[in-house]
């Protein structure tokens, strides 16, 4: 197995872990971390699969940089809403999960 | 005189407006934003006119072409959506300028967020590659979640959080699909993908992931649970923007992806499954809407139902004759446009009704039919289009879908069209029944400004007029589109 494919498979495993965490956990902070693992996993799949046997690909790397920026922005927004929700309600999970 | 091409400007103006409103002091943001709406209208309708007159347009941003640069493509459908966005968002901005006057914090942040939303929407309509669509989808999601949270109450924050989680999961599933497609074919541009894609396992998994992510974002039954609290709990102009435009964006991407990859690549069973889920959404959404006691929740569940009709496109257009597919295409586009206009009009009307009675309950509407008839009229006009009564746009759309179902020999979709119409009549008349109750209750209703009533009325009226003159807009929307080559 080539190094690139190893990255891709690691990414698939991370995606699985992230998805499991996202569904299994109720605490919003944990779900947010799980989402970040899921995101990192999909970036690894993208970088691994697209560069397998083709060498470095600037387009892929530009895509992943964009993806990372988007993920950081979403995490920041989620944290702000979570803090506010915690202050207003006193809960660390969504109302249907409390 | 050389006039600049309007295509990049429909993105530059809203992005610049978002930054300008952020830089302005909080009290003056509405005053900065409103003149820019006029500028954006100018750019949007100039683009629509150019596409109608000269045909589809293309623009490589900054002179960089794909794969490193971003290419914008405006065919008839994209330009039509840009114009629709201008109409709906313009009306919502006019409404918000009055509605938010006594809510200083919401008034300060509504404007930059709405302009970001507008940028993201236009970015999605005009994208020609699947990664740019992903970026647009994320920007749209972030702006929409921010707008939902603006209401500031605990319910709204929970709705925003739930919406954000659903949106993030949806866009990651979509991104994984993009990764697989790029790995398999080495291109992101939709036209190239349409040429080279083959029915193999990678394509199927990629298409399944993208479809699943987009279904979650479009809130198709049974993935709709996040929608009613988010759309029903947001501030009224936000509800209108979300229901009319935001969910249409993910449906639009789904449409583009399926048109590029669907025929010959996707299994037909998948198209039929989408249609069946759409049918379930029509019935479940209609039933739930009828059971609501709060006005805006009723309108939000009505969105869940109306989304279902859009998904009838898939079984009617894939694997059927060209004639049936073309009817389905026209019907779906007409449904998309008339629902956007009617639902925005209905949400704005509902918000004004709530302002007038001071209560969110449907039961508190008693007597309003006699004292504020104009207000109820705009709600009712929107209802006419949602029920699909002639001569509204909703009627035309259902008529076309009905003919498409007959032409392709799939009569069972008729039951969905008829049953859904009856259910929507039931929930619209539930509101009317309460409004015309003559009670001892009261004869004074709050009245803020004619702007509120007029912006709701304009949108509802547009959705009805669309049915009277559907031919020309449908012709424009089909410029450069599939199914449109032969007469």
Lowest mean pLDDT: which of A22-26, A46-50, B175-179? A46-50
Tokens encoding B149 = 């949270």
Q: Which of B343, B367, B122, B334 has its CA nearest to residue B244?
A: B343
CA distance B68 to chain A (A): 6
Look at residue B442 in the predicted model and tell me its pLDDT.
Answer: 63
pTM of the model: 0.92
Residues 161-200 of B with CB under 8 A from A: 161-162, 164-165, 168-169, 172, 175-176, 178-180, 182-183, 186, 188
* Contact (CB<8Å) B178/A28: no
User: Looking at chain A, which residue has its C-alpha nearest residue B159?
Assistant: A94
* Contact (CB<8Å) A52/B183: yes
pLDDT exceeds 90 at position A78: yes
What dihedral do alpha carbons B94, B385, B255, A70 form, nearest 10°? 30
CA angle, B68 then B72 then B78, to 5°: 150
Look at residue B3 in the predicted model and tell me its pLDDT.
Answer: 59
Look at residue B481 in the predicted model and tell me its pLDDT.
Answer: 66
Look at residue B65 in the predicted model and tell me its pLDDT.
Answer: 72
* Contact (CB<8Å) B169/A35: yes
Tokens encoding B104 = 């200083």
ipTM of the complex: 0.92
* Contact (CB<8Å) B161/A15: no
**Alpha-carbon separation of residue B75 from B47, B72, B136 (angstroms):** 10, 10, 18
Tokens encoding B402 = 């009905």
For chain A, the average pLDDT equals 87
Cα within 13 Å of Cα(A70), Cβ side: 28
Strands B71-74, B57-60: parallel, antiparallel or unpaired by DSSP?
antiparallel
Chain A residue numbers touching B144 (CB-CB < 8 A)? none
pLDDT averaged over 10-residue windows placed end to end, chain B, 487 residues: 73 92 87 89 90 84 73 87 93 90 87 94 91 91 93 89 92 89 86 84 90 93 89 91 93 91 81 92 92 89 92 88 86 91 91 84 76 81 86 87 88 89 89 75 67 86 84 78 47
Mean pLDDT across A84-97: 85
H-type helices in chain A, by residue range? 3-24, 28-50, 58-89
* Contact (CB<8Å) A89/B67: no
**Alpha-carbon separation of residue B344 from B167, B347, B388, B457, B462 (angstroms):** 22, 5, 16, 10, 11
Closest to B164 (Cβ–Cβ): which among A42, A77, A88?
A77
């Amino acid at each position: 197995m080539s190094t690139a494919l190893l990255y891709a498979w690691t990414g698939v495993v991370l995606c699985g872990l992230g998805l499991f965490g996202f569904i299994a956990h109720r605490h919003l902070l944990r779900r947010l971390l799980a989402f970040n693992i899921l995101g990192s996993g999909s970036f690894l799949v993208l970088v691994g699969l697209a560069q397998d046997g083709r060498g470095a690909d600037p387009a892929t790397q530009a895509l992943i940089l964009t993806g990372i920026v988007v993920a950081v922005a979403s995490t920041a927004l989620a944290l702000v809403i979570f803090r506010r929700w915690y202050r207003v309600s006193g809960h660390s999970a969504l109302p249907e999960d409390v | 005189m050389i006039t600049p091409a309007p295509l990049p400007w429909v993105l530059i103006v809203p992005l610049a407006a978002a930054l300008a409103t952020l830089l302005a002091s909080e009290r003056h943001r509405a005053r900065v934003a409103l003149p820019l709406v006029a500028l954006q209208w100018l750019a949007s309708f100039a683009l629509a006119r150019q596409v109608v007159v000269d045909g589809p347009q293309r623009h490589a941003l900054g002179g960089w072409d794909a794969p490193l640069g971003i290419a914008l493509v405006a065919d008839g459908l994209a330009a039509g959506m840009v114009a629709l966005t201008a109409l709906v968002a313009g009306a919502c901005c006019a409404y918000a300028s009055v509605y938010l006057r006594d809510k200083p914090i919401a008034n300060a942040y509504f404007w930059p967020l709405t302009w970001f939303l507008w940028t993201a929407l236009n970015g999605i309509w005009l994208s020609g590659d699947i990664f740019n669509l992903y970026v647009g989808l994320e920007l749209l999601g972030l702006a929409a979640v921010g707008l939902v949270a603006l209401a500031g109450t605990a319910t709204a924050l929970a709705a925003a959080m739930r919406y954000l989680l659903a949106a993030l999961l949806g866009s990651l599933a979509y991104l994984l699909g993009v990764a697989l497609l790029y790995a398999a074919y080495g291109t992101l541009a939709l036209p190239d993908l349409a040429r080279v894609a083959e029915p193999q396992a990678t394509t199927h998994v990629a298409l399944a992931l993208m479809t699943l992510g987009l279904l979650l974002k479009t809130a198709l039954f049974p993935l709709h649970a996040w929608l009613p609290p988010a759309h029903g709990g947001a501030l009224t102009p936000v509800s209108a923007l979300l229901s009319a435009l935001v969910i249409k964006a993910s449906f639009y991407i789904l449409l583009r992806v399926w048109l590029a990859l669907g025929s010959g690549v996707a299994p037909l069973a998948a198209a039929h499954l989408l249609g069946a889920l759409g049918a379930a959404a029509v019935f479940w959404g209609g039933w739930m809407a009828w059971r609501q006691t709060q006005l805006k929740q009723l309108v939000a569940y009505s969105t869940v139902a109306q989304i279902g009709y859009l998904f009838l496109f898939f079984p009617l257009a894939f694997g059927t004759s060209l004639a049936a597919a073309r009817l389905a295409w026209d019907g779906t586009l007409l449904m998309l446009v008339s629902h956007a206009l009617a639902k925005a009009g209905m949400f704005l009307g509902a918000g004004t009704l709530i302002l007038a009675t001071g209560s969110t309950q449907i039961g508190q509407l008693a007597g309003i039919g006699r004292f504020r008839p104009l207000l109820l009229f705009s709600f009712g006009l929107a209802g006419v289009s949602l029920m699909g009564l002639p001569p509204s746009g909703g009627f035309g759309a259902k008529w076309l879908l009905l003919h498409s179902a007959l032409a392709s020999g799939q009569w069972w979709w008729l039951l969905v069209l008829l049953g859904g119409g009856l259910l929507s009549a039931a929930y619209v008349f539930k509101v009317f029944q309460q409004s015309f109750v003559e009670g001892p209750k009261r004869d004074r209703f709050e009245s803020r400004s004619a702007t509120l009533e007029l912006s709701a009325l304009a949108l509802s009226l547009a959705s009805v007029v669309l049915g009277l003159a559907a031919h020309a807009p449908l012709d424009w929307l089909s410029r450069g589109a599939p199914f449109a080559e032969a007469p």
